[in-house]
């Protein structure tokens, strides 16, 4: 989850622009740069949270050089996230500081306010959201009666496949204290491989391990050397069965071609859906970690953001060897929300752009076996979760639908104004929490 100085406004239907896909791993975590004109939108409760039926006023401040921008032309819209707005208008604002009149929701969910200011022909956008009893949001996705049996059978199939692990040291990536390798292991189904970057402390000893699972897209990976420097084995994996140290043009071409729209591949068949190999690949990565002589054999965590947040929950639910998880803004949560008049999770399979193609009995049924909600129900280990109310890629409604069914120990850190990105403080707190959980009992 490396930081970059680049930010891209993410507006996906099923898949991001292929040209940008190889950047997404860094982008979704990067704080957006400051704008020349800042449009600040905030709900009038300090916690941005309301009871159903309670009115919310959105406070808006348009700033230039730190001062309110007078006589600025703005337009706004307010409505349930990802749905048609219930209120919108365009007007000239004399002071640059104003309030958008009260609106509310009758049911648990989120209202979103988008404000666009126009200065010298350029538009500047701000967003704010209000949560209405988010802890009461319940999932819409079906929970198949044979969900556990389906995945038990899949894991049994995987266990029969030899690991066939291959490690290639990357001398230019190694440090004084850490050896870095590209790993290549046999994944689910004969012939499919799983690639990743492994970082192992050089000092002789036994170490805990952290599996890093990726956000959506196709890209290279560098590995988590920084955490390995702290005395933790790290494995950062890709999910597409291709080496993770190729030229970036390879990934861009795959994103535009063979792997374009991969989250919808074989959605009409639960046994052939793209994410079956992906989910099982995360377990296979853990198989590899447990094979390492340097691993302490006990302390294993998994973490990631977006698609990686989803994979963190899935992996911890499917693999009892995982001791804890950390998830930022998980994707693939309650994807059927759109079929029930509210926002669903990325990859937005049933939104207005995709419902005509995906609204079939077979595809809806498949979703039940892969939706993060149904894995969240199975969690038994502690988890830390973090997201914001302004996420337009993974709507908070969908994430709360998954979070609310978790019965295992859980901690949610809300960074309210964040969208599909994190502040450095969130990352620091997450890794500190994971490291603490990974410490052997005698070292705490």
Q: How far is CA 335 from the centre of its chain?
A: 13
Task: Specify whether 360 is located in the same domain as 395.
Answer: yes
117-130: average pLDDT: 96
Pairwise CA distance, residues 359 & 346, whole Å: 16
CATH number at residue 121: 2.60.40.1930
48-52: average pLDDT: 98
Contacts (Cβ under 8 Å, ≥6 apart) of 308 = 1, 212, 213, 214, 215, 327, 328
- Please check whether residue 250 lies inside any domain of the structure: yes
Which pTM was predicted? Answer: 0.93
- Please check whether residue 251 lies inside any domain of the structure: yes
56-66: average pLDDT: 96
Domain extent for 40: 33-136
Residue range 223-238, pLDDT digits in tens = 999 999 999 999 999 9
- Please check whether residue 12 lies inside any domain of the structure: no
In the chain, the number of structural domains is: 2
Instruction: Please calculate the CA angle 255-261-265 and round it to the nearest 5 degrees.
Output: 125
Query: Is 80 exceeded by the pLDDT of residue 443?
Result: no
Contacts (Cβ under 8 Å, ≥6 apart) of 239 = 213, 214, 278, 281, 311
Q: Can you give the pLDDT at residue 444? A: 59
Measuring CA to CA, which residue among 444, 439, 443, 431 is closest to residue 207? 439
Task: Specify whether 297 is located in the same domain as 277.
Answer: yes
| Structural contact between residues 298 and 263, judged by C-beta atoms closer than 8 angstroms | no
- Please check whether residue 383 lies inside any domain of the structure: yes
CATH number at residue 324: 3.40.50.1820
H/E segment holding residue 348: none
Higher pLDDT, 170 or 102: 170
Of 136, 164, 184, which residue sits at a domain end? 136
Percent of the residues in the chain that have a pLDDT greater than 70, as a whole number: 93
Task: Specify whether 234 is located in the same domain as 266.
Answer: yes
Task: Specify whether 290 is located in the same domain as 382.
Answer: yes
- Cα torsion for 306, 309, 314, 316, to the nearest 10°? 170
Pairwise CA distance, residues 323 & 168, whole Å: 28
Confidence of residue 29 (pLDDT cuts 50, 70, 90): low
H/E segment holding residue 272: none
| Structural contact between residues 367 and 434, judged by C-beta atoms closer than 8 angstroms | no
Query: Is 50 exceeded by the pLDDT of residue 5?
Result: no
**What distance separates the 2 farthest-apart alpha carbons in the chain?**
70
Q: In the numeric block, which tokens belong to residue 72? A: 């600025």
- Please check whether residue 4 lies inside any domain of the structure: no
Residue range 67-101, pLDDT digits in tens = 999 999 999 999 999 999 999 999 999 999 999 98
Task: Specify whether 257 is located in the same domain as 114.
Answer: no
Buried b (16+ CB within 10 A) or exposed e, 177-202: ebbbbbbbbbbbeeeebbbbbbbbbe
Query: Is 80 exceeded by the pLDDT of residue 22?
Result: no
Query: Is 70 exceeded by the pLDDT of residue 110?
Result: yes
383-404: average pLDDT: 98
Pairwise CA distance, residues 337 & 80, whole Å: 12
190-216: average pLDDT: 96
Task: Specify whether 318 is located in the same domain as 175.
Answer: yes
Task: Specify whether 102 is located in the same domain as 152.
Answer: no
Q: Can you give the pLDDT at residue 441? A: 62
Residue range 398-411, pLDDT digits in tens = 999 999 999 999 99
- Please check whether residue 292 lies inside any domain of the structure: yes
Task: Specify whether 369 is located in the same domain as 234.
Answer: yes
Q: Can you give the pLDDT at residue 440? A: 73
Query: Is 90 exceeded by the pLDDT of residue 368?
Result: yes
C-alpha distance from residue 130 to each of 289, 340, 348, 389, 425 (Å): 42, 20, 21, 7, 23
- Please check whether residue 356 lies inside any domain of the structure: yes
Pairwise CA distance, residues 21 & 274, whole Å: 17
Confidence of residue 27 (pLDDT cuts 50, 70, 90): very low
Q: Please, what is the average pLDDT of the chain?
A: 92
Q: Can you give the pLDDT at residue 51? A: 98
Task: Specify whether 194 is located in the same domain as 175.
Answer: yes
DSSP 47: T
Q: In the numeric block, which tokens belong to residue 98? A: 């104003």
Q: Can you give the pLDDT at residue 310? A: 98
| Structural contact between residues 49 and 131, judged by C-beta atoms closer than 8 angstroms | yes
Per annotation, catalytic residue among 224, 240, 306, 371: 306
Of 77, 111, 136, which residue sits at a domain end? 136
- Please check whether residue 5 lies inside any domain of the structure: no
Task: Specify whether 156 is located in the same domain as 126.
Answer: no
Of 88, 110, 136, which residue sits at a domain end? 136
Percent of the residues in the chain that have a pLDDT greater than 90, as a whole number: 90
Residue range 147-159, pLDDT digits in tens = 999 999 999 999 9
Per annotation, catalytic residue among 25, 240, 348, 420: 420
Q: In the numeric block, which tokens belong to residue 368? A: 């039940």
Task: Specify whether 375 is located in the same domain as 333.
Answer: yes
391 is catalytic: yes
Task: Specify whether 162 is located in the same domain as 66.
Answer: no
Query: Is 90 exceeded by the pLDDT of residue 50?
Result: yes
Q: Can you give the pLDDT at residue 349? A: 98
Pairwise CA distance, residues 387 & 401, whole Å: 13
Q: Can you give the pLDDT at residue 33? A: 86
Per annotation, catalytic residue among 287, 334, 391, 398: 391
DSSP for 349-380? TTSTTTHHHH-SHHHHHHHHHH-HHHHHTT--
Q: Can you give the pLDDT at residue 439? A: 83
Query: Is 80 exceeded by the pLDDT of residue 11?
Result: no
Q: Can you give the pLDDT at residue 191? A: 84
């Amino acid at each position: 989850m490396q930081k970059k100085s680049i930010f891209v406004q993410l507006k996906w239907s099923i898949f991001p622009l292929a040209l940008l896909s190889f950047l997404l791993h860094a982008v979704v975590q990067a704080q957006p740069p400051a704008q020349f004109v800042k449009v600040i939108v905030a709900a009038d409760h300090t916690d941005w949270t309301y009871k159903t039926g309670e009115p919310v006023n959105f406070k808006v401040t348009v700033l230039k050089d730190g001062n309110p921008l007078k006589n600025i032309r703005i337009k706004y819209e307010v409505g349930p996230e990802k749905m048609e707005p219930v209120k919108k208008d365009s007007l000239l604002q004399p002071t640059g500081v104003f309030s958008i009149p009260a609106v509310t929701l009758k049911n648990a969910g989120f209202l979103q306010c988008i404000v666009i200011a126009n200065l010298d022909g350029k538009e500047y956008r701000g967003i704010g959201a209000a949560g209405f009893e988010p802890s009461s949001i319940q999932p819409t996705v079906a929970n198949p009666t044979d969900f556990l049996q389906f995945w038990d059978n899949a894991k049994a199939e995987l266990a029969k496949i030899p690991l066939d692990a291959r490690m290639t040291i990357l001398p230019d990536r190694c440090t004084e204290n850490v050896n870095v390798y590209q790993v290549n292991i046999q994944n689910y189904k004969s012939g499919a491989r799983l690639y990743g970057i492994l970082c192992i402390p050089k000092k002789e000893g036994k170490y805990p391990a952290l599996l890093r699972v990726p956000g959506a897209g196709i890209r290279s990976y560098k590995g988590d050397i920084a955490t390995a420097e702290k005395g933790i084995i790290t494995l950062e994996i890709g999910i597409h069965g291709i080496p993770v140290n190729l030229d970036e043009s390879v990934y861009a071409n795959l994103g535009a071609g063979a792997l374009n729209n991969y989250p919808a591949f074989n959605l009409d068949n639960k046994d052939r859906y793209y994410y079956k190999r992906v989910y099982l690949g995360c377990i296979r990565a853990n198989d590899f970690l447990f094979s390492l002589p340097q691993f302490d054999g006990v302390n294993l965590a998994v973490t990631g953001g977006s698609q990686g947040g989803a994979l963190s929950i899935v992996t911890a639910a499917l693999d009892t060897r995982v001791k804890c998880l950390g998830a930022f803004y998980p994707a693939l949560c309650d994807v059927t929300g759109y079929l029930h008049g509210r926002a669903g999770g990325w990859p937005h399979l049933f939104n207005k752009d995709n419902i005509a193609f995906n609204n079939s009995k077979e595809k809806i049924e498949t979703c039940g076996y892969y939706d993060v909600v149904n894995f969240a129900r199975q969690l038994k280990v502690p988890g830390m979760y973090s997201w914001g109310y302004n996420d337009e890629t993974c709507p908070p409604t969908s994430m709360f639908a998954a979070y609310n069914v978790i019965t295992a120990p859980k901690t949610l850190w809300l960074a309210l104004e964040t969208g599909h990105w994190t502040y450095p403080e969130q990352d620091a707190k997450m890794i500190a929490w994971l490291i603490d959980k990974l410490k052997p009992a005698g070292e705490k």
